[in-house]
Amino acid sequence: MVTGHDFAAHAEVIAEKAAEIARGYFRGQLQVELKADESPVTQADKAVEQMVRDYLTEHFSDHGILGEEHGTKHGDSRYLWVVDPIDGTRSFLTGHPLFGFLLALLDNGDPILGIIGAPALRETLIGIPGIGATLNGSAIRVSGQTRLDDARLFVNEGEKIYRDHPAVFARLMGCGQTRRLGYDCYPHALVAMGHVDAVVDYDLQPYDYMALSAVVRAAGGQITDWQGNPLTLASDGRVVSAASPELHRDLLDLLNG
C-alpha cells in the first residue's frame, strides 16, 4: 500500500530548496505584479514554483501538478501535487516573517502528505495522515483542547468574514479564551504544534488548504469546511481547524448558528 511516507523524503528536499530560494528574496528588492484578482505576485513566487515543477517533472513525470502561479499539469493523474510557493505574498512583500510554503500530495483526491514550511523561521512541518506529524524532525501533536470557552482561537481573513458574514464575525469575537486575527498558513501550523486550539479561515483556494488538511489531521486534529465536510479540490474555501472533535463541533455550531 502506497502512503505519503513513500514520498516524504522528496517532499523534504523540495521544501528545503523552496526555503532557500524564498530567503534569498525576502526583504530584498521585489518586483511586484498584480494578477487579475488584484492579488500580488513576486519573482520569488514564480522562482519557487518553477523549482518545484522542475523537480517533480524530473522525479515523477507521470504525476500531476496544481500550482498557484502556473496552473495545472496532468490534472487527471492519480497523484497530484498541490503547491503554493509563497503562501502569504502580502506578508512576504511587507517583510513579515510568517509567510509560508505549502506542498501537498493527493492520491485520487485524498491528501496523503502535506508540508507547511516557514522559511524565515526555518521551520518545516511534515504531516502524513495515519502516521503522524513532525516539526523539524520532532513529533508534534494538537493540544486536545475540548472547550470552546477555554480555546485559543485564530480568525483568519477577518475583514472578509466581517464583510460577508458580519453575524458570524460577531459570534467569533465573543468566543474563546484568547482570540487573534491572522492570515495565511501559520496559525494552522500552530494548531498542529499544539500552541493554538483552533483556526477559522475563509476564501481559500485548494493550494491554500490541501497541505493544511494533511498536516493538521496527521497531528491529531480536525479540519473541514464550515459544514463539517472533508476538504476536497471542490471545497468552497471556508475552513476550520480544531484540536479535538468536541471543539470542532462547537465551532461548526457557532459558524452555522
pLDDT digits (tens, 9 = 90+) for 189-209: 999 999 999 999 999 999 999
Q: What is the dihedral of CA 61, 62, 67, 71, to 10 degrees?
A: 110
The predicted model gives 167-180 an average pLDDT of 97
For the chain, state the CA radius of gyration. 17
Domain 4-139, what fold?
Answer: Fructose-1,6-Bisphosphatase; Chain A, domain 1 (3.30.540)
Summarize the confidence of residues 85-98 as an average pLDDT: 95
Mean pLDDT of all residues belonging to the chain: 95
In the chain, domain spans = 4-139, 148-256
In this prediction, what percent of the chain has a pLDDT beyond 70? 99
Q: Which residues are annotated as a binding site for Mg(2+)?
A: 68, 84, 86-87, 208
Mark the binding-site residues, compressed into ranges: 68, 84, 86-87, 208
CATH class of 148-256: alpha beta
Res 71 pLDDT > 90? no
- 2 falls in which pLDDT band (50, 70, 90)? low
**Stronger pLDDT, 92 or 31, i.e. the higher one:** 92
Task: Provide the edge-to-edge strand list for the sheet that holds 132-135.
Answer: 71-73, 64-67, 79-87, 100-107, 110-118, 123-128, 132-135, 138-140
Average pLDDT over residues 54-76: 92
Q: Bridge-partner residues for 72, per DSSP?
A: 66
